[in-house]
A and B are shown apart, each in its own frame.
Chain A
Amino acid sequence: DQQVKQNSPSLSVQEGRISILNCDYTNSMFDYFLWYKKYPAEGPTFLISISSIKDKNEDGRFTVFLNKSAKHLSLHIVPSQPGDSAVYFCAARENTDKLIFGTGTRLQVFP
């Protein structure tokens, strides 16, 4: 049972435009959500997080939105840059320190 779902395996965006990556979850007990970015042959690196008591968190070009009623979160990257090309994983935490990850979305930003 996939508790964290990323339904789009890939996304292609032009440089300078907005990238929107989506994530859905099923467990209403999740209290934190995180986004990780992964380049080939490297481990995932932390990007941004949001608490379940908030609906938005912003860090530079990256903004995460949380819609608890819809059990949906999204990551916005604006403006997108070629260096943002990577696989993005959504992750969620349920009261413990264990993170449940989604299947990832491969973002490609082209010039």
Chain B
Amino acid sequence: GAGVSQSPSNKVTEKGKDVELRCDPISGHTALYWYRQRLGQGLEFLIYFQGNSAPDKSGLPSDRFSAERTGESVSTLTIQRTQQEDSAVYLCASSWTGMAGANVLTFGAGSRLTVL
């Protein structure tokens, strides 16, 4: 597609339930990132996939969070046993790496998660 697509755009769930958020990156982009933005805060790095390399999971806040990526395409971020503090906008981004210069991340519109 022309841009990064995320679904659902909005998700309201009850505390303790599991949620899955999906990201379709730009075709041909080898790198995929997940960030989140909690209310009034900045963009918090969660996880980064680059080709066939092991993902950088250093930003995942707890073991309730996990993410997978199928090849160089779709990624799913899963949050198990959601807590109220997980409420945030979850942003996915992709980029084409391997060229000189700053890799420019292209972001999706985000998935707004509200945990009641």
CB-CB under 8 A for A98 and B45, given A42-B109, A43-B4, A43-B93: yes
Task: Give min CB distance, B3 to chain A, whole Å.
Answer: 9
CB-CB under 8 A for A101 and B102, given A43-B4, A43-B91, A45-B107: no
Asked whether any CB of chain A lies closer than 8 Å to the CB of B48, the reply is: yes
Number of A residues contacting the other chain (C-beta, 8 Å)?
A: 25
CB-CB under 8 A for A104 and B102, given A43-B109, A45-B107: no
- Do A93 and B103 have beta carbons less than 8 Å apart? yes
Task: Return chain B residues, CB-CB under 8 Å to A100.
Answer: 45
Q: Which residue of B lies closest to A33 (CB)?
A: B102
| CB-CB contacts below 8 Å: B62-116 with A | 91, 93, 95, 97, 101-110
Q: Which residue of A lies closest to B3 (CB)?
A: A43
Asked whether any CB of chain B lies closer than 8 Å to the CB of A13, the reply is: no
Assembled-state Cα–Cα distance A97/B93 (Å) = 12
Encode A74-111 as 1/0 by CB contact (under 8 A) with B: 00000000000000010101001111111110000000
| CB-CB contacts below 8 Å: A53-89 with B | 89
Assembled-state Cα–Cα distance A103/B42 (Å) = 4
- Do B43 and A89 have beta carbons less than 8 Å apart? yes
| CB-CB contacts below 8 Å: A9-36 with B | 32-34, 36
- Do B42 and A51 have beta carbons less than 8 Å apart? no
| CB-CB contacts below 8 Å: B30-71 with A | 31, 33, 35, 41-45, 48, 50, 56
- Do A101 and B33 have beta carbons less than 8 Å apart? no
- Do A97 and B103 have beta carbons less than 8 Å apart? yes
- Do A46 and B48 have beta carbons less than 8 Å apart? no
Task: Return chain B residues, CB-CB under 8 Å to A51.
Answer: 101-102
Q: Which residue of B lies closest to A4 (CB)?
A: B42
**Sample (5) of A-B pairs whose CB atoms are under 8 Å apart:** A43-B93, A46-B104, A97-B50, A98-B45, A102-B42
Residues of chain B having any CB pair with chain A under 8 Å? 4, 31, 33, 35, 41-45, 48, 50, 56, 91, 93, 95, 97, 101-110
4 further A-B pairs in the complex, CB-CB below 8 A; given A45-B107, A97-B97, A98-B56: A32-B102, A51-B101, A89-B43, A100-B45
